[in-house]
Amino acid sequence: MVLEKPRILIVEDEWIIANDIKDSLVEMGYRVSGIASSADEALAAAASEGPDLVLMDIVLKGDRDGIDAAREIHERFDIPVIYLTAYVNEYLVEKAKDSEHFGYLVKPFRERELDIAIRMALHKAAKR
């Protein structure tokens, strides 16, 4: 029996970074369900693609940030989210802490760190 590879939605407003993440995920054996660059695109993609996991940049272009999008994705679709961010300040950490996230990676990160975070999040989500 062949198990389906997990499908991951990337939410990142920097196209080069999003494609680097996509390439890394494919190399690690994951399937990328799509790339979104805003909170609204992320919600639409979560609804239409039904990914197993979302990698969410916290600082996005537009009116809403990734934390707001992650909360809504969790509430509406119960999809686990791992935050990715280059910004580490107390406000964002506190805001993220109160959301239902499954991990928090600071950019730049190594592929191995990303893979472990994904595997842990998927495992934790499966046990709910």
- Per-residue pLDDT of 13-63, as tens digits, reads 999 999 999 999 999 999 999 999 999 999 999 999 999 999 999 999 889
Confidence check: pLDDT of 1 > 90: no
Which pLDDT band, with edges at 50, 70 and 90, does 96 fall under?
confident
User: How far from each other are the two terminal CA atoms of the chain, in whole angstroms?
Assistant: 24
Backbone angles phi, psi at 115, to 5 degrees: -60, -45
Question: What pTM was computed for the model?
Answer: 0.93
The second-level CATH assignment, the architecture, of 7-126 is 3-Layer(aba) Sandwich (3.40)
Which pLDDT band, with edges at 50, 70 and 90, does 91 fall under?
confident
pLDDT of residue 3: 65
3-state SS class at 25? helix
Annotated domain spans of the chain: 7-126
